[in-house]
Structure 1
Amino acid sequence: LGQDWLPLLEQDIRTATQGTFLEGAPVVPVSSRSGEGLGALVDAIGALARDVPERPADGPLFLPVDRAFSLKGFGTVATGTILSGAVTEEDAVVLSPPAQGQGPLRVRSVQVHGKAVPRALAGQRTAVNLPGVEAQAISRGQVLVHAGVVPVSQALDVELTLLAAAPKPLRHRAKLLLHLGTAQVPTSVSLLDRGELAPGATTLAQLRLGAPAAALTGQRFILRGFAVLEGRGKTVAGGRVLAVAARRRKRGRPAELAQLEVLARGDAEARIAAVLAIAGPAGLASHALVGRTALAPRALQAALERLGARGGALLFDREHRAYVAGEVARGLAARLFDAVKAFHQAKPLAAGISREELRGRLPSVTDPRLFARLLTQLVEKGELVTEGDHVRVPSHRAASGAAGGALKAELESVLARGRLTPPWLSELPEAVKAPLDQVAAVLKLLVAEGRAVRVSAELYFDAAAVWGLRERLVKQLQAKRAVTTQEFKELVGATRKHVIPLAEYFDREKVTLRVGEKRVLRGEGK
Structure 2
Amino acid sequence: MIVATCGHVDHGKTELIKALTGTNTDRLPEEKARGLTVDLGFAYNILPDGEVLGFVDVPGHEKFIRNMLAGVAGIDLGLLVIAADDGVMPQTREHLAILDLLGIRNILIVLTKIDRVAPDDLSEVSKQVNNFLKEQGHRDHALYPVCAPKGIGIEALKEELTFRAKSQKPKVVRGYFRMAIDRAFNLKGVGLIVTGMIFSGTVHKAESLTLLSHGASVRVREIRVHNQIRASAKAGERCALSIVGRGVGEKSIKRGTWLAHSDLYVPTKRMDANLQVLKTETNPLKHWTPTHLHIGSDHLPARVAVLSGGNISPGEIGLAQLVLPHDAFALYGDRFVLRDQSAQRTIAGGRIIDPFSSKRGRAKPNRIAILKAMSKENTAAVLQALATRSESGVQLQPFAVSHNLPSDQIDAIIVSLGLLRVGDAPKERIFCESRWRGLMALILNAVASIHKSKPKSIGASIKDIQVQLGVFFEEDSLKLALKIMISEKRMCVNGSRFYLPSHNIHIPEQETAILTIAANILAPDGGTPPSLHQAAQQIGTEVPVLEKALKIGIKLGDIILVGKNRYVPSTLVINLKISVEKLASKSVDGLFSTSDFRKEVSMGRNFIIDVLEYFDQVGFTTRVGDLRRLRQP
Q: What TM-score comes out, normalization by structure 1 length?
A: 0.71
> Partners in 2 of 1:379 and 1:235 — Cα distance?
59
Q: Equivalent residue for 2:288?
A: 173
> Does the residue aligned with 2:199 lie in a helix, a strand or coil?
coil
Structure 1 residues 19 and 354 mapped into 2: Cα distance closer, same or farther (>3 Å)?
same
> Partners in 2 of 1:276 and 1:94 — Cα distance?
32
> Partners in 1 of 2:205 and 2:441 — Cα distance?
45
Structure 1 residues 322 and 38 mapped into 2: Cα distance closer, same or farther (>3 Å)?
farther
> Partners in 2 of 1:252 and 1:416 — Cα distance?
59
Q: Describe how 1:219-234 pairs up with structure 2 within 5 A.
A: 219-226=334-341, 234=345
Q: Equivalent residue for 1:468?
A: none
Q: Equivalent residue for 1:126?
A: 239
Q: Describe how 1:260-339 pairs up with structure 2 within 5 A.
A: 260-265=371-376, 268-273=379-384, 284-285=395-396, 288-294=398-404, 300-309=410-419, 313-317=420-424, 322-326=428-432, 327=435, 331=439, 334=442, 338=446
> Partners in 1 of 2:557 and 2:121 — Cα distance?
103
> Partners in 2 of 1:363 and 1:208 — Cα distance?
29
- Is it true that 1:194 corresponds to 2:309 in the alignment? yes
> Partners in 2 of 1:224 and 1:244 — Cα distance?
20
Whether the aligned pair in 2 keeps the contact of 1:175 and 1:186 (CA below 8 Å) is yes
Deviation track 1:360-415 (CA, whole Å, cap 9, x = no partner) reads 99999966643442332232332323456554433456xx5251x43121343466
> Partners in 1 of 2:175 and 2:146 — Cα distance?
38
Instruction: Give the Å deviation of 1:80.
Output: 0.4
Q: Equivalent residue for 2:566?
A: 458
Q: Which amino acid aligns with 2:224?
A: Q
Q: Equivalent residue for 2:531?
A: 424
Deviation track 1:68-94 (CA, whole Å, cap 9, x = no partner) reads 122344432221011222222233322
> Does the residue aligned with 1:107 lie in a helix, a strand or coil?
strand
Task: Find 1:409's aligned residue among 507, 513, 522.
Answer: 513
> Partners in 2 of 1:316 and 1:293 — Cα distance?
21
Instruction: Give the Å deviation of 1:263.
Output: 2.0
Instruction: Give the Å deviation of 1:354.
Output: 6.6
Deviation track 1:22-41 (CA, whole Å, cap 9, x = no partner) reads 56522101121221211221
Quote the sequence identity (%): 23
Deviation track 1:297-316 (CA, whole Å, cap 9, x = no partner) reads 6553333124444xxx5332
Q: Equivalent residue for 1:385?
A: 492
Q: Which amino acid aligns with 1:110?
A: I
> Partners in 2 of 1:390 and 1:415 — Cα distance?
20
Q: Which amino acid aligns with 1:126?
A: C
Structure 1: gaps (5+ residues) = 464-497, 509-526
Whether the aligned pair in 1 keeps the contact of 2:446 and 2:465 (CA below 8 Å) is no
Instruction: Give the Å deviation of 1:214.
Output: 1.4
Q: Equivalent residue for 1:248?
A: 359
Task: Find 2:129's aligned residue among 5, 10, 13.
Answer: 13
> Partners in 2 of 1:193 and 1:447 — Cα distance?
54
> Partners in 2 of 1:105 and 1:340 — Cα distance?
56
Q: Equivalent residue for 2:149?
A: 33
Q: Equivalent residue for 1:516?
A: none
Instruction: Give the Å deviation of 1:112.
Output: 1.1
Q: Which amino acid aligns with 1:338?
A: A
> Partners in 1 of 2:313 and 2:358 — Cα distance?
26
Query: In terms of mean alpha carbon deviation, does 341-350 or 172-181 score higher?
Result: 341-350
> Does the residue aligned with 1:66 lie in a helix, a strand or coil?
strand
Q: Which amino acid aligns with 2:220?
A: V
Q: Equivalent residue for 1:135?
A: 250
> Does the residue aligned with 1:291 lie in a helix, a strand or coil?
helix
Q: Equivalent residue for 1:105?
A: 218
> Partners in 1 of 2:221 and 2:471 — Cα distance?
41
Deviation track 1:491-524 (CA, whole Å, cap 9, x = no partner) reads xxxxxxx98449x99xx9xxxxxxxxxxxxxxxx
Structure 2: gaps (5+ residues) = 1-114, 572-600, 612-633
Whether the aligned pair in 1 keeps the contact of 2:393 and 2:431 (CA below 8 Å) is no
Q: Which amino acid aligns with 1:8?
A: E
Q: Which amino acid aligns with 1:247?
A: S
Whether the aligned pair in 2 keeps the contact of 1:333 and 1:378 (CA below 8 Å) is no
Instruction: Give the Å deviation of 1:212.
Output: 2.3
Q: Equivalent residue for 1:68?
A: 184
> Partners in 2 of 1:49 and 1:314 — Cα distance?
42
Q: Which amino acid aligns with 1:406?
A: Q
Instruction: Give the Å deviation of 1:182.
Output: 0.7
- Is it true that 1:342 corresponds to 2:435 in the alignment? no
> Partners in 2 of 1:103 and 1:187 — Cα distance?
25
Structure 1 residues 105 and 279 mapped into 2: Cα distance closer, same or farther (>3 Å)?
farther
Whether the aligned pair in 1 keeps the contact of 2:179 and 2:197 (CA below 8 Å) is yes
Q: Equivalent residue for 2:482?
A: 375
Indicate the structure (1 or 2) with the bigger Cα radius of gyration: 1
Q: Which amino acid aligns with 1:122?
A: A
> Partners in 2 of 1:71 and 1:362 — Cα distance?
62
Please tell me the root mean square deviation across aligned C-alpha atoms, in Å. 4.5
Whether the aligned pair in 1 keeps the contact of 2:180 and 2:257 (CA below 8 Å) is yes
Instruction: Give the Å deviation of 1:202.
Output: 2.0
Structure 1 residues 78 and 429 mapped into 2: Cα distance closer, same or farther (>3 Å)?
farther
> Partners in 2 of 1:349 and 1:67 — Cα distance?
67
> Does the residue aligned with 1:245 lie in a helix, a strand or coil?
coil
> Partners in 2 of 1:212 and 1:238 — Cα distance?
20
Structure 1 residues 54 and 294 mapped into 2: Cα distance closer, same or farther (>3 Å)?
farther
Structure 1 residues 118 and 46 mapped into 2: Cα distance closer, same or farther (>3 Å)?
same
> Partners in 2 of 1:200 and 1:267 — Cα distance?
24
Q: Equivalent residue for 2:553?
A: 442
> Does the residue aligned with 1:215 lie in a helix, a strand or coil?
coil
Structure 1 residues 390 and 402 mapped into 2: Cα distance closer, same or farther (>3 Å)?
closer
Instruction: Give the Å deviation of 1:106.
Output: 2.9
> Partners in 2 of 1:437 and 1:247 — Cα distance?
46
Q: What TM-score comes out, normalization by structure 2 length?
A: 0.60
Structure 1 residues 246 and 21 mapped into 2: Cα distance closer, same or farther (>3 Å)?
farther
